[in-house]
Structure formats: structure tokens, C-alpha cells
Structure 1
């Protein structure tokens, strides 16, 4: 059975490259964050920052191959783990049908008024389960 994931494709910009002609390594976390919007909408459907309910606890990225300006990129976004108040967003960056980078963002459901973590609501956890990476 194929995993369900969010998908976003785009063409890199010239300014995304480095002096060697590759995609600059600093772009990967930026592209991954941009592709997490659908996950953010589970917690804040209108993406209103005044109602925001998540914090980023950790990010990592692993580079699997060189990426280039002239080819389209695809970001695939999955859920890697679901805890009681935190979860992992696992993402892959593909170019020319090859995995070029992967990474994980640890997100925490957070109550800004009490400044404490909050349990992930059952309905949201149910939606997340559909996107679990096997």
C-alpha cells in the first residue's frame, strides 16, 4: 500500500544556488518549512498567527545527492511519529525522480497562554495517522 503524503512541486530560483552551481544547503530547511502548511492547517485552519498552536522543537536534514537549478523539485511531506503532545514531520526532496534530501521537524502542540505543551486533539491525531510514513 502506498503512503499518503502532501506533495508540492516548484522550480528553484537562481538565487537558491551557491558558488558551485548547486542548490545551496540553506534552502532545504526553508523549502521543507514551506511545504508543512497543510500540516499547520490541521491545528490552525486559517493559518492565523494570532491563533497559532505549534512550536518547532528540532529540525534535521540529510543530503543524499547534489541538486541543480535547472530541474524541478518535489517535496513530499509525511508524518513520521505521533506522540501525545509532539509529532515528527518527515519530508523528502526529490529531483529527476531521485531522492536528494530528507529531514525531520519535531513539532509540539503548544498553548501560548499557559506556555505549556498541550495534548494533540484526537481528531487531528486521526488525520495524522493517514499520513504516517511506513
Structure 2
């Protein structure tokens, strides 16, 4: 059973895998399940490594939908990252900002509320944290 707190999406930008681990623990202490916590980094290999090291997920076909997953095959990495974030309810402006932060080696950690979004829809209730505060 989902509580109100974990039905909201939260987005945190961090600097390292250690910061990701701390943020994942914080999200889990708030009630988010591991399968609802996602990591994104600009470099695909880094995303893979961080997700494996921190037992987090990567945004895949289940979250982004078949159409977006197929389109991502033909997109640049930046376009792919923005599309993945958009499918989770992140607005176009925030997806652009977060992708720019990933360009500077930041890692984005998303505690997803579970609602999927299409096209220009976005979740206006997402909470964004520029830096990890524990």
C-alpha cells in the first residue's frame, strides 16, 4: 500500500556514487521501495555502474513506455535522458536543466511516485533538491 509521501516524485542531484547511496537510503527511510528509485548519469556506463553499486534501477521500458524506449534507440544520449525524465513527469524545462547538470558529472536520483506521463504532460508536484542535504 502506497502512502501519500511515496506517491510523490522527488528528484535529487548529487556528485558521486557515495552520495547516491546516501540519498537512496534517505528515500528508502521515507518509504520508497528500491524498485521506485532510479539513477541517471550522462555516461551510460557510469549509470550502469552506479545503479549496480547502489541497488537502484535504471529507467526502462516499464517506466518510459514502449514508444519512448524504441525512439530512444535513435536519439542522442542527451535526448534519451530528457525523454526518460519526461516519462516520469519531469517538465521539459527541468529535464533540460537536469541534463545540463549531468553534463557536469552530476548524477540524478529519482524517487518515483509511480505515475507515467506522455507528451507534454508533467507532474507539477515534483520536489527538486539541487544538492543533497542529510
TM-score class, shorter: under 0.3
**TM-score, normalised on structure 2?**
0.27
> Over alpha carbons, which structure has the higher Rg?
1
TM-score, structure 1 as length reference? 0.27
Q: Which has the higher helix share?
A: 2
Question: Relative to total residues, which structure has the larger strand share, 1 or 2?
Answer: 1
